[in-house]
Amino acid sequence: MKTGQFGIDDTPVFVIDQSRCIGCEACVQACAECGTHRGQSLIHLERVDRAASTQTAPMVCMHCEDPTCAQVCPADAIKQTEEGIVQSALKPRCIGCSNCVLACPFGVPKYVAEFDQMMKCDMCTDRTAEGLTPMCASVCPSEALWYGTIEQFRDTRRGTLFRDFLFGRQQVRTKVYTVIDDALAGPLDVLADGRRSWLDDPFGLEETVPR
Amino acid sequence: MARPPLTDDELIARYGPHLNEAPPGGWNAGIEVDRVVKTHCCFCGQQCGIKLKVHDNAVVGFEPWYEFPFNEGKLCPKGVKRYLQGSHPDRLLHPMERDPAAPGGFRQTSWDHALERVVAEIRRIQAEHGDDAFAMLSGVSLTNEKSYLVGKFARLALHTANLDYNGRFCMVSAGTGNKKALGIDRAPNPWSDIPLADVVWVAGANVAETFPITTSYIWRARDRGAKLIVQDPRVVPLARTADLFLPVRPGTDSALFGAVLHVLIERGWLDHEFIDAHTVGFDEAAAAVADMTPAWAADITGVPAARIEEAAEWWGTAATGMMLHARGIEQHTKGVDNVLAAINLGLATGKFGKPGCGVSTITGQGNGQGGREHGHKCDQLPGNRDISNPDHRAAVAAVWGCDEADIPGKGMPAEEIIEAIHDGRIKGLLSICFNPLVSAPDANFTREALDKLEFYTVIDFFLSESAQHADVVLPGSLHEEDEGTSTSGEGRIIKINAAVTPPGEARRDWEILVDIARRLGKGDLFSYANTEQIFDELCRASHGGTADYTGATWQRIEDEMGLFWPIPEPGHPGTPRLHEGGRFAHPDGKARFHPVPFKPSAEVVDDDYPLLLTTGRVVSQYLSGTQTRRIAALVAQYPRPLCEMHPRLADTIGVVDGDLVTVTSRRGSMTLPAHVVTTIRPDTVFIPYHWPGAQAANQLTNRAVDPLAKMPEFKVTAVRVERAGGRGATTDTRDLGLHEASS
């Protein structure tokens, strides 16, 4: 029934571009429809500060190359697949201690009391194994969540892909990419005028506008 | 006697809205799938492709349809959860009659009895008060086939002039403006033109919440370096990253457009060759904006003059540009003016008929485009023909096999029908797919009107708030229970496929209408065996009209993933982009400029009502909410209306986020929590309109209409806002990290 979108020679990557998020929650709703965890959404969607902005931020598991959650798990319950997908805690092993919840630098794992188990995004392994896009990136209307090859991204999208983070002294490389503005990738023109945006004063309340 | 038989609470207890939480059998039932049906979302005019998973005659889930070119699998939350409207506990399964003594206020009856009573009441009312005293209201969630059938049914079976549709509250200003300026009522571009634009100007369209999929098209343009201009009283989600934001005061869009045209002329950013070769009326339009300087417009619109000049420069100097507008500029007593003023900007700069160029409405309702072409508008016949034009009438009469004189003339538009019911000129009503009690302006007036009907019958799948007033309720079909076509906002005819059959005794809508026609003695005019036969007749009836479907067949529509009309002959490839080569649909092939002087809205602020209310939608709800207020996950996203206001306004009222406020207009008042955000103009409040009763924003809105389009002014209401005392919830307490289903 299903037809793969990606062949075996393709190596699609998952990309999050938070700036494109419109907060519609299609990802949240679609995640809960996934065949392996029906009724449970495993994606995060944060309202950053609704009083000040409509900015929202979706967050899937970043699938770290050397995952902190697994490092701190006393029960060795968090495993990676060969493809580098970090999975939810193995149910028989998980002791519900929440070390992973506290340790993850991205705040991804959640301890679900109802199941006494840590659960998190597994990158829709049931779909990606068949060459299909994960559910959230399938439906995302703004392509803030995106799945495809790096070549496709560079051909069609603006922004620079990025996956190395420094948390204090801990360096983390993730399987999932984020996007930063090309301008921020440098070199930085330090003598240029400061960038002024209408966002500083959306309604012209500070400008000398005839009212 | 069209009063609700019981109290609201009693009716809600029996007929909902109840919340459907999970697919049939619950989340843990496992997903056995018998088949997967390729069809489309039942909600907005984007008409996204979707695959529905079916088991045991129930829709149990969805799968993205990656191959459908418009949305490539993308869906908004409504599309994801749409399948939960099926197998719903509130689904109407039997014909019912009003009976205050019966449990729930309605008594189950047989189809035969229900339809005989409907026919007897139609005959009685028409005999006593004239044919036009029985009216019909329809809606454009219906397929093209059903929309066409409704038009023919009302004119030939009911023999009433008074048929109109809910697009009167949605797309009708755009349609009227497009016809006047361009000679044709269709979006001029396929959406694939948006990524080719160097400037995308979104005017009065909360794209992220009401047409979410269009966001990806706009970003594809931006990925190429396009600039984005957003014109809105609120910093809507798409506006947050816009290159330029025009924070227009509600009701002043035409002043803004006028000032932009003024600047284009002053700076010479015009396409004279295009204007001379392909348009008429430029001089008159230019004269009308001679005094509309950016400084003048800044005062009226609240948009800083420098931003108006910058918008004009971007639009005027870009090689390609698309303006997308929606209800924000259209739902006004000058909605047609606003649309004409927007089109003037496209004509002045030659931005029509070329890749990446156009000024286009974004059609709101599911079949808002197709539904408004084939004859359930009060002034229209199939093929977007004019019911007052003798040649058009004769052409349609020939297809219908009737005398031209048998087709009634132009009827009343929707709001006038409601007013005529209120003042007693209309006594009977049949409605389908329309919930005016929630969607029409001045809800208290609408309720009084429905109460006054001598007889009201409703075809619906849930007991909507309007249907609670019905004498006879006829259980019709959901989108996934019937097949046909719809025409999306870009003018693409697409195929809707049935996934399941109607449950219980519910029937397909078209079968109900054909049965009533037969009982009215008009069966010979409605002898269809299936909806494909209705489509074939529709295509014949559209032949030679502007909305020409002649070459369309169901087979082609499916094989070619949709067809763009006009398709004037068999084998014609369809017409994705209109006006190529500068050929417009007026007889002389030229587009019309229109002079648009600025006019104030029907209501302006004063000491008693010092603030502007504007209404609209949220992403998780659709129109009057008959479907989406019954799906738990969508309700959880935005459970109740909130009154958005700027902290400066909140300070003057003395409220903080979550405090209850009472919003009062000249027609009514409502109390709801204040949602204090810096993303709205300080002189404006916003309330979404999806809810009924005490939560209905339309208790406040104005029945004043556009003189041409008859569109009510939903976007501008003068109100006052006062502290009510008490607190309500505005904060979203859900944990979206792990969003648990309850079963």
Other CB atoms closer than 10 Å to residue B174's CB: what's the count?
32
Q: CATH number of B188-361: 3.30.70.20, 3.30.365.10, 3.60.40.10, 3.40.228.10?
A: 3.40.228.10
In this structure, which amino acid lies at residue B159? H
Whether the pLDDT of residue B546 is over 80: the answer is: yes
Task: Report pLDDT for A101.
Answer: 95
Other CB atoms closer than 10 Å to residue B732's CB: what's the count?
13
Which pLDDT band, with edges at 50, 70 and 90, does A207 fall under? low
pLDDT tens digits along A190-205:
666 655 688 889 999 8
Chain A residue numbers touching B303 (CB-CB < 8 A): 204
> Where in chain B do CATH 3.40.50.740 domains reside?
121-170+367-581
pLDDT, mean over chain B: 96
CB contact residues (below 8 A), chain B span 40-79, against chain A: 61-64, 66, 73-77, 79
Which pLDDT band, with edges at 50, 70 and 90, does B709 fall under? very high
Which pLDDT band, with edges at 50, 70 and 90, does A157 fall under? very high
User: Domains in chain A and their CATH numbers?
Assistant: 7-60+123-183 (3.30.70.20), 66-120 (3.30.70.20)
pLDDT tens digits along A173-189:
999 999 988 766 666 66
CATH domain B611-727 topology: Barwin-like endoglucanases (2.40.40)
Whether the pLDDT of residue B737 is over 80: the answer is: no
Other CB atoms closer than 10 Å to residue A200's CB: what's the count?
9
Q: What is the mean pLDDT of residues B122-143?
A: 97
Q: What is the mean pLDDT of residues A130-144?
A: 96
Task: Indicate yes or no: pTM above 0.90.
Answer: yes
- Residue B208 to chain A, least CA–CA distance (Å): 6
Distance CA B602, CA B171 (A): 20
Higher pLDDT, A29 or A116: A29
Q: What is the mean pLDDT of residues B532-557?
A: 97
Q: What is the mean pLDDT of residues B166-176?
A: 96
Task: Report pLDDT for A168.
Answer: 87
Q: What is the mean pLDDT of residues B541-546?
A: 96
Task: Report pLDDT for B575.
Answer: 98
Distance CA B25, CA A87 (A): 28
Q: Is residue B341 a contact partner of residue B220, using CB atoms and an 8 Å limit?
A: no
Q: How many CB pairs under 8 A join A and B?
A: 178
Q: Is residue A106 a contact partner of residue A62, using CB atoms and an 8 Å limit?
A: yes
pLDDT tens digits along B460-479:
999 999 999 999 999 999 99
Q: What is the mean pLDDT of residues B294-298?
A: 98
Task: Report pLDDT for B293.
Answer: 98
Alpha-carbon distances, residue B261 vs B181, B348, B582, B598 (angstroms): 16, 8, 20, 13
Task: Report pLDDT for B741.
Answer: 37
Task: Report pLDDT for A2.
Answer: 44
- Per cent of chain B over pLDDT 90 is 96
Task: Give the pair of three-digit tokens for residue B145.
Answer: 């086939």
CA geometry: angle B252, B256, B261, nearest 5 deg: 145
Whether the pLDDT of residue B333 is over 80: the answer is: yes
> Where in chain B do CATH 3.40.228.10 domains reside?
188-361
Interface test with B, best of A61, A203, A205 (most B CBs within 10 A): A203
Q: What is the ipTM of this complex?
A: 0.95
Chain B residue numbers touching A19 (CB-CB < 8 A): 241
Whether the pLDDT of residue B691 is over 80: the answer is: yes
Q: What is the mean pLDDT of residues A17-27?
A: 96
Which pLDDT band, with edges at 50, 70 and 90, does B739 fall under? very low
pLDDT tens digits along B21-67:
999 888 877 778 999 999 999 999 999 999 999 999 999 999 999 99
Q: What is the dihedral of CA B323, B542, B172, B361, to 10 degrees?
A: -10
pLDDT tens digits along A93-124:
999 999 999 999 999 998 888 888 899 999 99
Q: What is the dihedral of CA A176, A179, A185, A189, to 10 degrees?
A: -160
Task: Report pLDDT for A1.
Answer: 38
Out of A29, A39, A50, whose CB is closest to B677?
A50
pLDDT tens digits along B579-637:
999 999 999 999 999 999 999 999 999 999 999 999 999 999 999 999 999 999 999 99
Helix axes B531-542, B390-400, angle to 10 degrees: 150
Task: Report the half-sphere exposure of B56 (CA within 13 A, side-chain side).
Answer: 8
Task: Report pLDDT for A35.
Answer: 79
Chain B residue numbers touching A139 (CB-CB < 8 A): 64, 73-76, 79-80
- Per cent of chain B over pLDDT 70 is 98
Higher pLDDT, A114 or B10: B10
Task: Report pLDDT for A52.
Answer: 94
Read off the DSSP letter of residue B229.
E
Whether the pLDDT of residue A138 is over 90: the answer is: yes
Which pLDDT band, with edges at 50, 70 and 90, does B738 fall under? very low
3-state DSSP assignment of residue A25: coil
Q: Is residue B439 a contact partner of residue B698, using CB atoms and an 8 Å limit?
A: yes
Residue A203 near chain B (CB below 8 Å) = yes
B121-170+367-581 carries CATH number 3.40.50.740: yes
Task: Report pLDDT for B735.
Answer: 61
Alpha-carbon distances, residue B108 vs B97, B104, B105, B114, B119 (angstroms): 6, 10, 10, 9, 18
Chain A residue numbers touching B215 (CB-CB < 8 A): 20, 22, 141-142
Distance CA B702, CA B714 (A): 7
